[in-house]
């Protein structure tokens, strides 16, 4: 994190903020803080919009893109299965 740009630091802070929102909702609902599962739909207490924003930020931070049914990351690429919800997504 020492070599991150200011923009990367802001994105990471927003990502952490989204996860903390979900964790706080989990706690407010009487959940065990050690059993909170970030990123698992139905278990993370995030709205679909928050979950999508968190995924988008992660992809941007780690250089992951999805184009024409292929995932590209750090010089490697692979084809997504046709039944993947990400298959038609362009990120």
**Distance (Å, whole) CA 55 – CA 44:** 13
Instruction: Give the model's pLDDT for residue 68.
Output: 85
With tokens 């990367």, the residue in question is 8
Q: Which residues contact 7 (CB under 8 A, 6 or more apart)?
A: none
State pLDDT tens for residues 52-89: 999 899 888 888 888 888 999 988 999 998 888 776 66
Query: Under a CB-based contact definition with an 8 Å cutoff, are residues 91 and 64 in contact?
Result: yes
**Distance (Å, whole) CA 52 – CA 81:** 20
Query: Under a CB-based contact definition with an 8 Å cutoff, are residues 63 and 75 in contact?
Result: no
Handedness of CA 63, 66, 68, 74 (dihedral sign): positive
The answer on pLDDT for 27 being more than 90 is yes
Continuous H helices in 5-91: 6-28, 48-61
Verdict on whether the full-model pTM lies above 0.85? no
């Amino acid at each position: 994190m020492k070599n991150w740009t200011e923009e990367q630091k802001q994105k990471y802070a927003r990502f952490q903020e989204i996860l903390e929102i979900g964790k706080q909702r989990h706690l407010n609902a009487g959940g065990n803080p050690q059993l909170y599962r970030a990123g698992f739909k139905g278990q993370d207490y995030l709205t679909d919009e928050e979950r999508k924003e968190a995924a988008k930020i992660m992809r941007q931070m780690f250089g992951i893109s999805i184009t024409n049914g292929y995932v590209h990351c750090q010089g490697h690429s692979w084809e997504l299965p046709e039944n993947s919800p990400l298959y038609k997504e362009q990120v």
